[in-house]
Amino acid sequence: MHFKLVIFLSLICFTINGQEQVSQSTKKAKVNIKKADYLDQRDYLGEGVKLLIGNVKLQHENTIMFCDSAYLYSDSSYVEAFDNIHIIQNDSIHLYGDLLLYEGNNNLAKVRENVKIIKKDVTLTTDFLDYDRIKNVGYYYNGGEVVSGENTLISDWGYYYPDYNEVHFKDSVVVNNPQYSIFSDTLKYNTVTEIANILGPTFIISDDNLIYSEDGYYDTMNDKAKLQRNSYVQGKEQVLKGDTIYYDRKIGLGEVFYNMELHDTTNHMIIAGDYGYYNELSKYGLATKKAQLMQIHQKDTLYLHADTLQLIPLIEEDSRMVKAFYNVKFFRKDLQGRCDSMVYDFRDSTNTFYNNPVIWAMDNQLTAQTIKLYSKNQALYKAEMINSAFVVAPEDSLFFNQVKGRNMTGYIRNNELYKIDVDGNGQTIYYPKDNEFVIGVNRAESSNLTINLKNRQITGIKMRVDPNGNMNPPFLLPTEDVRLKGFIWLEEIRPKNRWDIFKHTEMPSMDETTSAYDDYKFGDNDK
């Protein structure tokens, strides 16, 4: 019995002591008066209220508060302080203002009018700030400004986290820098690294360009950016777009991954690819991985694909050129073609196609070792075929009009081929008609000759040197007599729409020593 009583009494003592310990641990720290020139605590002030006047200094845990005068409510650790407010938090954060409402039990300081928070070289100013001592965060919601390095940041709402050196800005965010200004919906800024994290629609505007993004960051210290959503960099003549853009302002380089587009607004041209870059200082650009060039011609657009596209500046002439390398294909409603490589020169609006190109224009198939197309006012007016030139135009499903020579120049008007000059080894086969019926096959040869056309029909041939020709019925001649040596009809590998330029089809041999038309099997080569 005695033993049980001892245990019972011990349990009671343990419970009482435990309650005392909990009570002591949950007891709130009071605001202590460290200094004041005058103290008044008469009854008219209220129960437990002290009036402090002159050089007031208060302390709450690790927070020191200075002011000209204050009311201290001892029971609730509540302070109303006035004029020359200065709060020091953890010996590193300084908070200033004209009015302080301090809730000691909630560790919340409400500072009003001419408010400043200063930590090292970062200053936040506002007229309305609430500061949470425990979370160590100050927040405003009626306009504020942060000065950090060369940057001045303004917003309607803001949260300052001194421990993390971060400020979160919301609504009407403006960042002013000597080189540019940032306008944003939502921004997170690190006061040490000076990196602005883009969290919403954001414009970065400078004298040289405009940057837009909805996600990413801008390193204001090093002038570098990563832009990830609906982003573009717009210069005076170019706009660079892409899924992810790495931009370096100091060297003028924008590098793009996936869905890259470089818009040349002056020349109505777009260079695209899944990877590329553009330097706004050197004016050099590149696109690869599904590279594509799109150029507007009057009311139509040329679509061109190659393994690699380059935009090359011609600085001294204030112009540029585009180079396309390997497996070039292009499509426009009235013009299609393919070749190994191409160069477009903006100085004279000339397209040059290299290494046995094939071009289909106005129902004519043009082949040569090199072909040049000349444009004026975005309209094609001349075509030059250099070395082994050959033009084929189907008369119907059976017959082909053909012109062959060393070099040729074709003249185009209103999108119609109206004249061809042949220079060297000129040969032609064409089918004259009477009332829409083929009446024969005309074969003519001359070193130099001129062919006139109307409505895509040959209306006359002028043979200048050593002419030779004959007229025969169309069905009496063997195949070799109605096809010039080297004849080949390549309709099956012709791009039929803008998406065909990405299809891989093997190019048949263009060797003039054989008639490739009879040997080539189109269906076997499509991939």
pLDDT for residue 511: 52
- Cα 432 to Cα 70, 361, 454, 459: the distances in Å are 111, 21, 13, 9
* CATH code: domain of residue 483: 2.60.450
Reading the block at residue 14, the tokens are 């343990």
Phi and psi torsions of 502, nearest 5°: -95, -5
Euclidean distance between CA atoms 147 and 76, whole angstroms = 36
DSSP reduced 3-state for 317: helix
Whether 98 maps to a domain, the answer reads: yes
355, burial (CB in 10 Å: exposed 0-12, middle 13-18, buried 19+) = middle
Count CB-CB contacts under 10 A for residue 153.
25
* Local confidence pLDDT in tens for the 527 residues of the chain: 443 433 333 433 434 444 444 334 345 678 999 999 999 988 788 888 999 999 999 999 889 999 999 999 987 789 999 999 999 988 889 999 999 999 999 999 999 999 999 999 999 999 999 999 889 999 998 899 999 999 999 999 999 999 999 999 999 999 999 999 999 999 999 999 999 999 999 999 999 999 999 999 999 999 999 999 999 999 988 999 999 999 999 999 999 999 999 999 888 899 999 999 999 999 999 999 999 999 887 678 999 999 999 999 998 888 999 999 999 999 999 899 999 999 999 998 899 999 989 999 878 899 999 999 998 887 889 999 999 999 998 877 678 889 999 999 999 888 788 899 999 989 998 887 777 677 778 888 888 999 888 877 777 888 877 667 666 666 666 666 788 988 999 999 999 999 999 998 887 765 543 333 333 333 333 33
pLDDT for residue 13: 40
Whether 181 maps to a domain, the answer reads: no
Nearest to 425 by CA among 384, 382, 463: 463
**Consecutive H or E run containing 9:** helix 2-26
pLDDT for residue 27: 55
Whether 403 maps to a domain, the answer reads: yes
Range(s) of the domain holding residue 75: 30-116
- Cα 163 to Cα 77, 136, 209, 391: the distances in Å are 25, 7, 35, 77
Euclidean distance between CA atoms 441 and 433, whole angstroms = 9
Q: Which amino acid is at 178?
A: P
Whether 80 maps to a domain, the answer reads: yes
pLDDT for residue 21: 42
Euclidean distance between CA atoms 411 and 385, whole angstroms = 12
pTM of the entire predicted model: 0.80
375, burial (CB in 10 Å: exposed 0-12, middle 13-18, buried 19+) = middle
Domain count along the chain: 2
Whether 218 maps to a domain, the answer reads: no
Whether 341 maps to a domain, the answer reads: no
Euclidean distance between CA atoms 115 and 512, whole angstroms = 87
Q: DSSP per residue over 426-448, as a string? A: EEEEE--EETTEE--EEEEEEEE
1, burial (CB in 10 Å: exposed 0-12, middle 13-18, buried 19+) = exposed
* CATH code: domain of residue 79: 2.60.450.10
With contact defined as beta carbons under 8 Å apart, do 408 and 421 qualify? yes
DSSP 503: S
Euclidean distance between CA atoms 481 and 257, whole angstroms = 55
Residue 219, CA atoms < 13 Å, CB-side half-sphere: 12
Whether 9 maps to a domain, the answer reads: no
DSSP 492: G
Whether 157 maps to a domain, the answer reads: no
Q: Which amino acid is at 307?
A: D
Euclidean distance between CA atoms 7 and 455, whole angstroms = 120
Which residues are CB-neighbours of 460 under 8 A, at least 6 positions away?
Answer: 451, 452
With contact defined as beta carbons under 8 Å apart, do 56 and 67 qualify? yes
Nearest to 497 by CA among 333, 273, 269: 333
Q: Which residues pair with 102 in a beta bridge?
A: 79, 109
Last residue of a domain, one of 89, 116, 143: 116
pLDDT for residue 16: 40
Last residue of a domain, one of 116, 133, 155: 116
pLDDT for residue 7: 35
**Consecutive H or E run containing 62:** none
Which residues are CB-neighbours of 526 under 8 A, at least 6 positions away?
Answer: 492, 503, 505
Q: Where does 364-440 show beta strands of DSSP type E?
A: 364-367, 370-376, 379-394, 400-413, 416-430, 433-434, 437-438
Reading the block at residue 417, the tokens are 């081929």
Last residue of a domain, one of 95, 116, 137: 116
With contact defined as beta carbons under 8 Å apart, do 508 and 524 qualify? no
